[in-house]
Amino acid sequence: MPASPVGRRQSIAGAGEGDTVPNEPQYETIIVEKERGRARITLNRPEKLNALSRQLQRELREALWEADRDTRIHCVILRGAGRSFCAGYDLTPERRLEGETGEADEYGQVYRQSQTFDDDVWRMEDAQRDRMTIFDMHKPVIGQIHGYVVAGGTDLVFLCDIVVADKDARIGFPPVRAQGGPPQHMWTYHVGPQWAKYMLLTGEFISGEQAERIGLVWKAVDGDQLTETVEELADRMAMIHPDFLSGNKRSVNMALEMMGARTMQRFAAEQDARMHTSPAMEDWRTRNREQGLKEALAWRDGRFANLDARRAWQQDAWSEGPRTS
């Protein structure tokens, strides 16, 4: 039987409350709680909407493998503290000045800015190895999402074995508009080419309810039912021996691998790095460097806000008229 959970308690918006276990590894950017056959891992940078620093990604990998080794644990719940599950990768180099991260995180300053193509691919694959822990570990991982689930947040959660969403969650990959593409590509495997292309060729958001309808998540529920639904799912897994959970998870994942899923992840990382070499990427870099991240994001997404904004931008960009051969 699992040990009785004791220790500090902390409120998690959209996630309920839980207890940490003494003598467990301590982390700066995540919270780990264990009880009744489950480990809850909470991304804990709510002031940054749980943006993924390299430190967070590495701590998450360590916590996932630790849960996989723990014979008391049958499944993992992955969730986010505060208003959102995850707002994407942390693109703010000034975080190094805030004392949040150590030297291991410093290369995040150029995480989306390649020096050479191979240098960029190396970084993409380095971060990818952390995320792939969710796919590679033996025990199932349940993704619990609410609020914004953006860019790197989708890279992370759509590797989970089952995802439960708040109906009002906002899910999307807007960086495709100006910065590249997802270095983790599970979109096609979840929703097929039509919806994958819609999401990745427009950068639009869909709700959790829409995500359920197209098969991107298993179920979407009202926000006040999110934790209960996830915990009930974990209850069922806690009653099945980990050997059986592992065998069946790995069978499904092997089927995905036979459809090219693992090779696709490597290819996606290289495609993202390739897009970083585009001259169009320089617009983003220049604005981010000279005007700051907030203004760069406003430039990226503001022109998509409504029909008038889109038409005005198109007219300006097309001022010379169509080219003829």
Q: Which residue has the higher pLDDT, 310 or 34?
A: 34
Alpha carbons 186 and 207: distance in angstroms, whole number: 18
Alpha carbons 202 and 246: distance in angstroms, whole number: 37
Other beta carbons within 10 angstroms of residue 17's beta carbon come to 10
Class for domain 9-277, per CATH? alpha beta
Strand ranges, E, within 89-204: 141-145, 148-150, 162-166, 170-172
Q: What is the pLDDT of residues 200-213, one digit of tens each?
A: 999 999 999 999 99
Residues in a beta bridge with 142: 77, 162
Phi, psi of 27 (to 5 degrees): -125, 160
Q: What is the pLDDT of residues 181-239, one digit of tens each?
A: 999 999 999 999 999 999 999 999 999 999 999 999 999 999 999 999 999 999 999 99
**Residue boundaries of the structural domains of the chain:** 9-277
Residues in a beta bridge with 32: 41
Surface-to-core class of residue 193, CB atoms within 10 Å of its CB (0-12 exposed, 13-18 middle, 19+ buried)? exposed
For the entire predicted model, the pTM comes to 0.85
Alpha carbons 169 and 145: distance in angstroms, whole number: 7
Kind plus residue range of the DSSP H or E element containing 9 = strand 9-12
- Share of the chain residues as helix, strand and coil, in percent rounded to the nearest 5: 50, 15, 35
Mean pLDDT on 295-318 = 83
Asked if 131 and 184 count as a contact pair (C-beta separation under 8 A), the reply is: yes
